[in-house]
């Protein structure tokens, strides 16, 4: 556990696939939170030249809750999947509240890695499943997706 786990810097950590939602849903959510004076961490705040993973890990650990915006291409991003593993681990170990948002995707696609999630994992397995450590990483990603899809969340089709 890092020292950041003792301090709260953000109310919310937002995990999202930039190409899917950065300029749309995530931008609106971030602005709405800001208008309510809720401190949200969005990865566009990463200082240039800084190590990415330690900064993301610290932001997750120093947030009261995480919102995970699952979109069609979420699983194509290794960074998103790494964030998700950390978020689920932090939820289990420290009780962080996690709210999944199913943005134009179905929870069952995430839970069972179907549709675009199945395609993304087929590519991950082709690209880097040659070592046992990478196969273990893929297993962790799959497990985190299943666990997060089992959490009661918000589905965009309910508000379309």
* Residue 29 burial by Cβ neighbours in a 10 Å radius (0-12, 13-18, 19+): buried
- Among candidate residues 22, 23, 24, the one with its CA nearest the CA of residue 14: 22
Whether 61 sits among the annotated catalytic residues: the reply is no
Distance CA 35, CA 15 (A): 19
| CA 15 remoteness from chain centre | 4
Which of 19, 61, 83, 118 is labelled catalytic? Answer: 83
Judge whether 55 and 46 are in contact, CB under 8 Å: yes
63 forms beta bridges with: 10
Kindly list the catalytic residues.
Answer: 83
């Amino acid at each position: 556990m890092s020292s950041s786990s003792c301090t709260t810097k953000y109310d919310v950590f937002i995990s999202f696939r930039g190409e899917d939602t950065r300029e749309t849903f995530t931008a609106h959510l971030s602005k709405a939170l800001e208008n309510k004076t809720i401190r949200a961490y969005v990865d566009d705040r990463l200082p240039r030249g800084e190590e990415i993973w330690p900064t993301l890990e610290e932001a997750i650990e120093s947030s009261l809750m995480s919102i995970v915006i699952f979109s069609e291409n979420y699983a194509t991003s290794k960074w998103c999947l790494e964030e998700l593993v950390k978020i689920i681990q932090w939820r289990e170990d420290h009780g962080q509240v996690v709210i999944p948002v199913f943005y134009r995707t179905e929870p069952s696609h995430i839970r069972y890695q179907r549709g675009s999630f199945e395609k993304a994992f087929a590519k991950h397995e082709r690209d880097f499943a040659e070592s046992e450590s990478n196969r273990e990483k893929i297993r962790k990603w799959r497990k985190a997706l299943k666990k997060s899809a089992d959490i009661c969340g918000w589905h965009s089709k309910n508000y379309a």
